[in-house]
Structure 1
């Protein structure tokens, strides 16, 4: 916590909203809540100083949709599994597969070993593109050093004030509380489990 800095005091509305968010998650330690709010006010002041800007009272929160990333991760794993299986398919099994594919081809096209080789190449190409897309999503959702530091300090305050580890239960209820705090404070920090977990793993 930054101690030698004027805190960024909450408005009455903001403080009431933070208190409500904490109580809704059954974090009912009143003394812990009081200290947690004080810590937040100091950390907000430090964040705004480091970010070089004052956060507005209300601003839309950026939301990271993790579904496309998860789908790409799953597809990459499945493609790599199929590629490996095709490469390791015994010769007799290959021949049976190719014979059946030729028999069921609506245009009576013959299927040879080169067909399986071509399939492996195409599946590998799709897998590679999926990996590239995942890297792109990770790059767009990566937090700045200032954002990471702020979240880390909030997590530390949560740990000390409520005696609960923020990374337990896949980050809940800390992640929900953090999201609500960002909304209340108008901070445009995009959250996802992918960016939170490395930060939370260092707490405590």
Structure 2
């Protein structure tokens, strides 16, 4: 049975206030013996963001860390299922995801966010939500032609055929990070090797 989505106008509430709780983020992080982090994986569709993040997640789990992956595709099956791929919807997709990541980091978790997040301004918005030093931007740099060859979801084929409009890298631009904390060149390097680079960076910061 399909799920029918009801459309309601979104209005900002003007009668709420922020509630401060007894247990703060430092207490929750100390309980887990770790520093909360937001690992923000950005790159073209098919670049390898989720694959690399999954390896990082595994390595951190083995070392006793508490983590969670926020994957763009998965979020569009639930929290963001009402959003399309217009510029406005992409901005809202990132805004919602960033706020969820913030709540998770406040709970003391290491959060791995896998989103194309093509626009620098939106990634800056996500960074500005977080505590200083908590946001780690990871540019998964895979050339467009390689991503199109991989095409695990068949999206590039549809985009080049004109069946999908505004597809990042084909009909819409991708703005690469200017100074990410980590710049991963995926050509000639395995996902597990790249994951180990990320974990090594975390151990040094």
- Identify the structure with the greater strand proportion: 2
Rg (Cα) greater in structure = 1
The reply to whether TM is greater than 0.5 is no
TM-score class normalised by the smaller sequence: under 0.3
- TM (norm. structure 1) is 0.23
